[in-house]
Every structure is written in structure tokens, then in C-alpha cells.
Amino acid sequence: MLTAGLFYKDTASKHDLVELTNVADNVNSGYQTRYNICKDSKLMDLIGPLHFDLGNQSKFLINSVNLRIKLERNKDSFTMMSATHDFKMVIQHASLFVRKVKVAPSIMIGHETALGNGAIKMPIRQTEVKSFLQECNP
């Protein structure tokens, strides 16, 4: 599924190598695969999940919940790896696919009853990213 979003695993310890060489020891295989797909300014269709906490839940939202999602575009220099910075990415079309389900009337009555007693609490799997600075001692 991740390859549909142009994810190809980089070679361990070679993820910063963006030079296309014929020397096998200096090749980042993930970068080389992505490069071959994108070269010559090819048009491509990509699809993938939105990577945020609410987008990775196994439970559905209850009815009548307003949800706003704002997508912001990153700079081209952040989104693409290249030895030179003479590139430009153009997004011609974007779609957001949302899955809707029909809920049994008995479940909807249960939700309304729960809302009458107070707010519904929904467990959310949260992802937390921490960064640490590590000193190198030669």
C-alpha cells in the first residue's frame, strides 16, 4: 500500500545519498527506484493515507461530528530529494476519500442515549514524536 504513495525503503545508512552512480556500494536503492519512476517529469497518480492520529483509528466517528482537515503544502525542497534543487512539483488534482457507513438504528439510538447522559469519550491512539540531541565523542 505504501508504494502507491511512492514509498520505497531506502538502503540502510545510504538514505542521504542522492547521486545516481554505477557503483553498487554507493547506491540508495529506494531513491533510485523513486527516481526512475519520476524522471522525465512523468505524470503519476499517488494514493495514501493521511498520517495523523485521527486518520489511523479503527473506530468510526459518531454521526453529526464536525471535522475540519486543513492540508498545507510543503516546499518542494522538503518533499523531494535531489543533488540539485532545480525541480518543481505540480499538483494537478487532489482528492480526499472519506468512507461513510450505514449504522443500524439500534446503534444510533444508543449513541443518542449516551450523548444525553454526557459527552462521548472516544479512545484515540496518539503518536508522539520526540527528538533528542546526541553528542558524538570522537
pTM (2 d.p.): 0.61
Place of cell 526512475: 36
What would the grid cell of residue 29 be? Answer: 536503492
6-36 confidence digits (pLDDT tens)? 888 887 877 677 666 655 556 778 878 888 8
Could you give the C-alpha distances from 56 to 48, 62, 74, 107, in angstroms and in order?
Answer: 12, 16, 22, 23
100-117 confidence digits (pLDDT tens)? 889 899 988 988 888 888
**Helix spans in the chain (H):** 29-38, 76-79, 105-117
The Cα 137–Cα 85 span in angstroms is 33
Position 26 scores a pLDDT of 62
- 113 φ, ψ (degrees, to nearest 5): -65, -45
Place of cell 483509528: 57
* DSSP-based three-state secondary structure for 74: coil
32-83 confidence digits (pLDDT tens)? 888 888 888 888 888 888 888 877 777 888 877 888 888 888 887 777 767 7
